[in-house]
Amino acid sequence: MNHYGTARTLVFAYALATAVAAFILLLSGGLVTSKGVGMTVPDWPNSYGYNMFLFPLSRWVGGIFYEHVHRLIASGVGLMTIILAVSLWMAEPRKWVRVLGYIAVATVIVQGVLGGLRVTMILDELGIFHGMLAQAYISLLVVICIATSRAFATGGARWRWHAPGLMRWVVVLTILVYVQLALGATMRHEHAGLSIHDFPLAYGQVWPLLDAGQLSAINAQRIASGEVPTTLGHIHLQMLHRLMAVVLAGLFIVYLWKARRAAMGVRIASRWWAALVVLQIALGAWTVWSNKAADVTTAHVAVGALILFLGVAQCFLVGSFSPRAAQLKREKETLVPA
């Protein structure tokens, strides 16, 4: 029998708290980008020459508030991640789970450095990598939460995640979701605003085919409205993001149908996945119609992240409890001398 004691229960609870804190950090970062205040504190690791943790409350105003709070939350999440790794080292008997904790510490350190370099080097490209690494880091925390749960550690969740033939679907969909999030992050960090203001059409067309003269007229109107000019590259990037959303919606419908006879956990997860995709598409449309309102845009980012995390969780659970995984585990156990 797999022993699961109080210490491991506490580690699971703490891992869950760390994941929640990291998700709050993601929301905070989304607000910083959505409000366009990512460079309101121009130095790092200090804040206007002050030690970050001693920055006067009287100066937490406007965009500085969002950027500075994001830094403070990030520092807290980094400390929580280190404590999580130490907790796993002390209480977790499985080496591979402990290694995940160490990887989480390395990832959060790199993430913090990327965030700082984004400020000091003023490179939008670093902002894209910073955002995408955040998604990967929280995905890792999701796996740690599952791995340290009683149901997983004792094998009690095995019967819920039997999904013959669906593993490839889950993996491919999760990868495509990550690619879609990368496209969205690129759009956000290009600081080009909305290159297309109508939806579901684009400049009145299914796919805008614009010549240089039409683009010049569009940019003249944008400048008159106080917007930054756009380019054909930005327009096509946003159209690619829309096209990927349509492709993903179709694939999720197919997956939902295929998962209808899978084990209970897979069926429930597939329904939640589909529901979040529907919500995400609605938020994407609302983002356009609201001219990228900060709260709507941040909600769009948050739901996209939840879709990714649910996909990662399914990949881990379906893969862990697949017949092939069980066979490999039995073969490994036979090689270990009694």
Domain boundary among 156, 173, 193: 156
Rounded Cα–Cα distance for residues 113 and 133 (Å): 11
Counting the structural domains of the chain, the total is 2
Q: What percent of the chain has pLDDT over 90?
A: 67
For residue 335, what pLDDT is reported? 44
Residue 200 sits in the same domain as residue 165:
yes
Are 138 and 187 in the same domain? Answer: no
Residue 31 and residue 95 share a domain: yes
Taking residues 172-193, report their average pLDDT: 89
pLDDT tens track for 121-172: 877 788 889 999 999 999 999 999 999 999 898 887 777 888 888 999 999 9
Domain boundary among 102, 134, 156: 156
**In a shared domain, residues 150 and 172:** no
Q: Which residue has the higher pLDDT, 315 or 227?
A: 315
Collect all residues with Cβ–Cβ distance below 8 Å to 46 and sequence separation of at least 6: 52
Predicted confidence (pLDDT) at residue 321 exceeds the cutoff of 90: no
Residues 272 and 137 in one domain: no
Q: Which of 156, 189, 212 is the last residue of a domain?
A: 156
Pick left, alpha or beta for residue 86 (phi over 0 → left; psi -120 to 50 → alpha; otherwise beta): alpha
Do 16 and 132 fall within a single domain? yes
Residue 145 and residue 195 in one domain: no
34 pLDDT more than 90: no
Would you state the pLDDT for residue 323?
Answer: 54
Give the per-residue pLDDT at 165. Answer: 86
Same domain, 137 and 10: yes
CA-to-CA distance for 120 and 178, rounded, in angstroms? 27
Please tell me the distance from the alpha carbon of residue 291 to that of residue 111, in angstroms, as a whole number.
Answer: 30
Averaged pLDDT, 202-227? 91
Range 59-81 average pLDDT: 93
Residues 245 and 287 in one domain: yes
CA 114/CA 25 separation, integer angstroms: 15
Structural domain of residue 81, as residue ranges? 1-156
Average pLDDT of the chain to the nearest whole number: 89
| Statement to judge: residues 164 and 304 lie in one domain | yes
Higher-pLDDT residue of 195 and 145 is 145
Residues 199 and 321 reside in one and the same domain: yes
**Choice between 326 and 277, residue whose per-residue pLDDT is larger:** 277
Residue 2 clears pLDDT 70, i.e. is over it: no
Q: For residues 115, 17, 20 and 95, what is the CA-based torsion angle, rounded to 10 degrees?
A: 70
Q: Where are the alpha helices (DSSP H) in the chain?
A: 6-34, 62-91, 95-121, 124-148, 150-153, 167-189, 212-224, 232-258, 264-289, 294-320, 323-335
Co-location of 49 and 180 in the same domain: no
